[in-house]
Structure 1
Amino acid sequence: MESATLTRPRSGPQARSGLAARLPARGRRLVPALGLAGLVVAVVVGFFVYPTYPNYDSVYSLVWGRELLDGTNLSFEAYRAPTQHPLAILFGAALVPLGEGADRVMIAFTWLSFVVLTMGMYRLAARAFTPTIGLITAALLCTRFDFPFLAARGYLDIPFLAMIVWAACLEQERPRRGTPVFALLALAAMLRPEAWLIIGLYFLWCAWPADWGTRVRYAVWTASGPVIWALTDLIVTGDPMYSLTHTSGLAEELGRASGIGAVPSATVEFLTRLDKAPVAIAGLAGFALAAYLVPRRVVMPTALFLVGLGTFAAVGLAGLSVIQRYLLVPSLMVMVFAAVALGGWTLLQAGRARTAWAVASVLVVLGGTFYTATRVNLKVFDNELTFRSEYRTGLEDVLRSPAVQAGLKCGVVSVPNHKLIADVRWILDLPADKVVARTDTVPDKETGKGGDGLRRAEQGGVAIYAANRSVLIRQVLTDGMDAPAQTSILPGYTYAASSDAYGAYVRC
């Protein structure tokens, strides 16, 4: 009689591949290849149907890249400028020679990075468990809409995650692999400081059995990210710790949650928001099942999950903004374990338990698909992506109108708050002191600089205002800053140009 219990699978290729072991080699390759082809088609169509533009941080990377090529000092200390990321600046500099199309090329790159990330998630889960679990993991990633949205807006998180996941894939396939893994982690460490802890732990793992020459080489890889980051800050601002102190200060100024006390509740909230509650619950169940059935195979996903939580706690301890983007790595691993909950039957030998699990998984997937299809409002996604396209083209139309171009000679360009500064500077190729925010009325506590944005705007130039409700809500009235300074027409300014998104006034 067949057993109906969750029997641990046999060792060897058959147990590892599950259902896929019964398929011809061509079939095992065909299904992932078709899935990849479908994803590529969807990305290409989305890129052209919704021509979005980079987010605030990424546009600043283009602006700083242009300053780097021009040989001018990088404007890290501009009003509410984001934290600099050395690799992003170098990438921005490489795109600058493309001219006006550089920002769209950046979006294309982040979409490509999303495809590479999806391939990495498949490979990580397929090698740790089975190809079926790998396919489910990739599907979960593509349907957690926060992640494609990050790609559509050019967030550097997507290439960062791709580097981390592929480094994990390489290490999983050959433990203590060394240089290729260090190279990917070092690049990631120049994009986000969370990678500093990951590469530091990897150094300890690899250095323990290595000779001294190898240890020194690995130490150079490990130190490269934070050293380059600190040197960049030192050269530009004179303070090697500027990114750390600036980020924590900006978190306080913008009223974001920070500090270690915010970490526990934020961890639960953000993981649930990123993965959605059913996937988060399935992730817990999948981890328990995998730990029982194949305890050795959970090592890599579990290590990444724990390191991700550790970096999130370190971010809070350092006083930085506690935001959900710092939990992206753990959220990816939750998807892997959720895929185990759905596809873990492929780990079992043939029998009643395997059949029952497979049937239950199919029913859960069908139920989840029906639930999502009847409750998700696709119009919301369409509106968001359309806005990302139309606001930028509307801004370009206004800024390039003859009346506004003439008004540029009369003073600064003022915008409601910091959110449009990077876009205006990139479109018009203006230095930091020529674009001001009308909410910039208080000097920086540390440096005493700034605080004269409204005063300079009142003296003349071009003033940009929101012309519709969507822009007003998304880009102007966002964090309780001085509403009159953002929305009231300054004295002496007269109408110059407008689009569906923005209006421009000039005083000469």
Structure 2
Amino acid sequence: MEGSTLTRPQPGTDSARAAPSPGERGDGLAKIVFALLCVGFAIGFFVFPTYPVYDSYYSLLWGRDLLHGNPLVFDGFRYPTEHPLGIAAGAILQLFGSWGDRLWVAMILAAFLVLVAGVYRLGRIAATPLVGAVAAALLLTRFDYPFLAARGYIDIPYMALVVWAATLEATRSRRGVPVLILLALAGMLRPEAWFLSAMYWVWVSWKATWRQRFVFAAIAASGPLVWASTDFLVTGDPLFSQHYTSLSAEDLGRQRPLSQLPSAIPGFFKDLVKLPVFAAAGLGALLGIVISPRRMLMPIALLLAGVVTFLAIGVAGASVIERYLAVPALALMVLAAVTVAGWTMLSKSWVRTVWMVAAAVIVLAGVAYQATHLNLSRFDNELRFRGQAHTDLTSVLKDPRVQAGLRCGPLTGPNHKIVPDSRWIADLGDGKVWARAQSYRDPDSKYTLPLQTKGVAIVVTSRFAIFKHAWTDAADDARIQVPPPGFKRVKTSRFYAAYVRC
């Protein structure tokens, strides 16, 4: 049963022309809050100068190679899987020189704001402006998401593209080309979008002409075709990413058999949105279906489609980690928002009043709990470390004695963690920087290298940094934190020390 939010003036009257509707007032307030949010993020960008995460730095490095005409190398020791659209963005950011990595973070933060707006819009279309606002607030307070943005994860623009594709479809059913274009772009960032494009193609083609079906199919196929073409041009194998990702997932212990995937999903959701929101989402789905089943179709469809794609990539042998459920978790936030603010979907009645009071009590209790249990110092330490570590590594690598050592041999770090950062800062090509962990691997592995004899060796010195950039894998030998024989220390900082031998 559909319920109106408030009684509206009759069309044609003066009051109807003068008084904005509740939805218009809600949207107006949302725009003001969003503008303030943008200002807050801009301030945070300068207060906490973070830098791209490991995977994103490789997109910048591959973009640099592409722009300079150097051969791209996708196969290396614990290299991440490439993302074609990420490489294209990395190539464009090379035009800004050494500012490219900071601008990458700015780009991802902007994508996160677009994602927040998309979640608000999806909740507003599915229910009311207040439901959309609560869903957006839940996204902002699930700190894993803004933390991904602050570290420049490519998952953020992927989620923004998918959510806005869902929002466009929710606005007008079988919208077609615009939705497919967004999903195609998303499919150049993460392969899960290929399944979403395929499912949407089936839906939108059901009542389309044959010409439209052909156009829809061409757009839907562009994501995997661009990815396969990139793999083929660089490696000669159009399925390189699938093969390489499966091997990497096995090496890192991130694969799970099909029998374990269903049981892993609830736990991952609880980690992403936390247990109260997860429980509220289940109740919100029931309430939304009772009040307005048609308007709940898109959040529920997004949830189910996201779970199906997660299962598909797990079956394909890719890594099974919680952030690959981040998109369906966004749908859970919208459904949880229905539990909190779904009373705005009802006409005035005692049911609406009781629901509103109960929701207010729950919100106040939740805010009080978070205020007494939230440890903001952890986030402050994590964010500041990102900037300080980059500054320290830069000061070490720019030291004249270290620069002289780089002319004698390669640069090494304990393991793979600081390899891309070092390559970016020192402007070094592929093969010029490697991990000492490669010297203590299975001698039959194609990634095993002899122990370094000349060049520069970076050792991580701070206890906090060691667990971030050195001892991150139980399989690594403890000797990776020891400089090779004959190397002398020439430069130290808070987190790193450089040893040189020529």
**TM-score in terms of structure 2 length:** 0.95
Deviation string 1:354-399 (CA, Å, 9 cap, x unpaired) is: 0010011111110000000000111111011011111111111100
1:450 aligned to 447, 459, 464, which one? Answer: 447
Q: How far is 1:30 from its partner?
A: 2.7
Deviation string for 1:259-313 (max 9, x for gaps)? 3233123211110011011000000110011111111111111111001000110
Give the secondary-structure state (helix, strand or coil) at the position aligned to 1:495.
strand
Does structure 1 conserve the Cα–Cα contact (< 8 Å) formed by 2:159 and 2:327?
A: yes
Matches within 5 A, 1:46-195: 46-195=44-193
Q: 1:347: Cα distance to partner?
A: 1.2
- Percent of pairs with identical residues: 47
Structure-1 residue corresponding to 2:499: 505
CA distance in 2, matches of 1:14, 1:233: 58
Taking structure 1 as reference, are residues 387 and 147 closer, same or farther at Cα in structure 2, changes over 3 Å only? same
Cα distance in 1 for partners of 2:159, 2:294 equals: 24
State the match for 1:4 in structure 2: none
Q: Cα distance, 1:334 vs. partner?
A: 0.5
Deviations 1:321-353 (A, max 9, x none): 100111011100000000000001111111111
Pick from 351, 354, 364: which aligns with 2:352? Answer: 354
Letter of the 2:77 counterpart: Y
Query: Which shifted more, 39-48 or 26-35?
Result: 26-35
Is the Cα contact below 8 Å between 2:184 and 2:223 reproduced in 1?
Answer: yes
Deviation, 1:233, is 0.7
1:375 and 1:106 map into 2 onto residues whose CA distance is 33
Q: Give the whole-Å Cα distance in 2 for the aligned partners of 1:145 and 1:392.
A: 22
Q: How far apart are 1:13 and its partner, in Å?
A: 8.6
Give SS of 2:412's match: strand
In 1, the alpha carbon distance for the partners of 2:447 and 2:34 equals 49
Q: CA deviation at 1:28?
A: 2.9
SS at match of 1:35: helix
Matches within 5 A, 1:425-504: 425-441=423-439, 442=441, 449-452=446-449, 455-457=450-452, 459-504=453-498
What corresponds to 2:313 in structure 1? 315
d(CA) in 1 for partners of 2:443, 2:32:
54
Is the Cα–Cα contact under 8 Å of residues 280 and 338 in structure 1 kept in the other structure?
A: yes
Aligned to 1:28: 26
What is the CA distance between 1:199 and its match in structure 2?
Answer: 0.6
1:300-449 alignment runs, 5 A limit: 300-441=298-439, 442=441, 449=446
Distance 2:161 2:2 in 1: 32
Distance in 2 between residues matched to 1:259 and 1:242, nearest whole Å: 22
Write the distance in 2 (CA, Å) between the matches of 1:328 and 1:450: 32
Q: How does 1:11-22 map to 2 (within 5 A)?
A: none
AA matched with 2:472: T
Secondary structure in structure 1 of the residue aligned to 2:175: coil
Contact 2:63 2:88 in 1 (8 A): yes
Displacement of 1:189? 0.4
Alignment partners' CA distance in 1, 2:390 and 2:256: 31
Query: Could you say which residue in structure 2 is the equivalent of 1:252?
Result: 250
Q: Is the 1:200–1:222 contact (alpha carbons within 8 Å) kept by the matching residues of 2?
A: yes
How far off is 1:25 after superposition? 6.9
Distance 2:188 2:73 in 1: 18
Maintained 8 Å contact 1:260/1:319: no
> 1:86 touches 1:229 (CA, 8 Å); kept in 2?
yes
3-state SS in 1 of match to 2:294: helix
Q: Flag structure 1 segments of 5+ consecutive residues without an equivalent.
A: 1-7, 16-20
Q: After superposition, what is the alpha-carbon deviation per residue over 1:95-141, rounded to whole angstroms, capped at 9, x for unaligned?
A: 01111000000111111111111111111110111111011111111
Write out per-residue CA displacement over residues 381-439 of structure 1, whole angstroms, 9 at most, x where no aligned residue.
Answer: 10110111111111111000011000001111011011111111111121211111111
Closer, same or farther in 2 for the Cα pair 1:342/1:466, shift >3 Å?
Answer: same
- Alpha-carbon distance between aligned partners in 2 of 1:496 and 1:438, rounded to the nearest angstrom: 19
The answer to whether the 8 A contact 2:64-2:91 is kept is yes
AA at the equivalent of 1:53: Y
Q: Provide the rounded CA distance (Å) in 1 between the counterparts of 2:20 and 2:286.
A: 27
> Could you list the per-position Cα deviations for residues 430-449 of structure 1 after superposition, in whole angstroms to 9, with x for gaps in the alignment?
1211111111144697xx63
1:255 Cα offset (Å): 1.9
Q: Which amino acid aligns with 1:309?
A: V
Q: Does 1:213 align with 2:207?
A: no
The alpha carbon displacement at 1:482 in A equals 3.0
Indicate the residue corresponding to 2:12 in structure 1: none
**Contact residue 261 and residue 316 of structure 1 kept, 8 A:** no
Shift, 1:472, TM fit? 0.4
* Alpha-carbon contact 1:493-1:507 (below 8 Å) kept: yes
Separation (CA, whole Å) in 2 of partners of 1:143 and 1:338: 13
